[in-house]
Amino acid sequence: MSEKKNDDFVVQIPEKNNTFEDQRPLMGSAATGSQRPGATMANPLSSIDNSPVLSVLSYCLASMSMTVVNKYVVSGSSWNLNFFYLAVQSIVCIAAIFICRQAGMIRFAPFDMQKGKRWFPISCLLVGMIYTGTKALQYLSVPVYTIFKNLAIIVTAYGEVLWFGGKVSPGALLSFGLMVLSSIVAAWADIQAAVSGSGHSGSKTAAVSTLNAGYAWMGLNVFCSAAFVLGMRKVIKRMNFKDWDTMFYNNFLTIPVLIVCSLIAEDWSSENMARNFPVETRNKLFIGMVYSGLAAIFISYCSAWCIRVTSSTTYSMVGALNKLPIALSGLVFFDAPVTFGSVSAIAIGFVSGIVYAVAKMRQSEESKGGLPSTNQQVMSSSSQSNKDAERS
């Protein structure tokens, strides 16, 4: 629910940006520079707070755990309450944001009705993106879902070419080809596993039908994801939002939409609730639903932490390399079939992510006409759009 969906679209800038500074209070006192000279080495917490390795591992763990928890919640044989689940995520996220603001850890502007009306269409696009994402994850394995999510990068990149005058470098084009290849290999391996009965319960026909439904939802999710990112970039230029403002409005405005959709489209009878929340797993499901809402905050925090204590190059590569542990987590925690095809698809997707990250960094270097410094910071989509607005 955060801007985690935009991690693949990273922009390097040579100067400091206001958004990053606004996020810095969340990092603790070490980030604000309020400690006395020499206190950093004496304070173990400061050593942890400024550890590049720990920040990278925390970012990877946060994003991986959110995918795994989402898969666990929606994987029940009778699960059909996706809108309700997403509403709980948003409510938990908003509650956590307000608690952090009251504690002085983060800052964002109060809700403005006029801005809310202008931002509401973007929140509707977000609902489409996260709903189709959970439906795709419900029917597909985590590795296949992770691999196919890369296709949204391609659609978004060409959308930026059409609407924002962007360009696709040869390196990015190569990575797009690898992403498409990895998706084809993953689909082929998944269908072969379904036909052979590996990793799928029930008849072969039912297994293939489940995969077809998953691919259909995944296709919708790719276009919904691109529409959300492009639409947000278009609108945010006129909103003067910082990252926490974007996160607040996104989650706050989706709550009524998700609740209304749940009340209209989902079965709230006691029988259906009992099927979705069986007694033996009820508490685990509730814990998972709450954690998934908090994970959005964790991912935003760990992203800002990683940016602060590492370089933009490191952060870009972490975003690319992070796809591998997420895909592998599906093989470890769930019954995703381990075949030559599935492992090959993960490997190709992993390489495509690295090629894409390198291509974006080279493109950024060429646009600046020089080599980047190691302490350059990274802009999220909202920050980059704000900078575009200032230039226009």
Instruction: Give SS3 for 139.
Output: helix
DSSP string over 60-84: HHHHHHHHHHHHHHHTSTT---HHH
Domain-embedded: residue 237: yes
| Structural domain range at position 155 | 3-15+55-391
Q: Where are the alpha helices (DSSP H) in 266-339?
A: 270-276, 282-309, 312-321, 323-333
- Average pLDDT of the chain is 78
* Non-local CB neighbours of 326 within 8 Å, separated by 6+ positions: 63, 64, 67, 142, 146
Q: What percent of the chain has pLDDT over 90?
A: 26
- Would 297 be classed as within a structural domain? yes
Assess if residue 226 is contained within a domain: yes
Is pLDDT of 88 > 90? yes
170 lies in some domain = yes
Domain membership flag for residue 21: no
- Using a 10 angstrom Cβ sphere, with 0-12 exposed, 13-18 middle and 19 or more buried, the burial of residue 280 is exposed
Within a domain: 24: no
Tell me, yes or no, whether 50 lies in a domain: no
Q: Which of 22-36, 140-154, 184-198, 239-253 has the lowest mean pLDDT?
A: 22-36
The domain tally of the chain equals 1
165 and 303 Cβ atoms separated by less than 8 Å: no
**Per-residue confidence at 359, pLDDT binned at 50, 70, 90?**
confident
pLDDT over threshold 90, residue 254: yes
Q: Which residue has the higher pLDDT, 255 or 332?
A: 255
pLDDT for 354 beyond 50: yes
| pTM of the full structure | 0.78
Using one digit for the tens of pLDDT, what is the confidence trace for 333-346? 777 777 888 888 88
The answer to the question of residue 49 being in a domain is no
User: Between these two residues, 215 and 390, which has the higher pLDDT value?
Assistant: 215
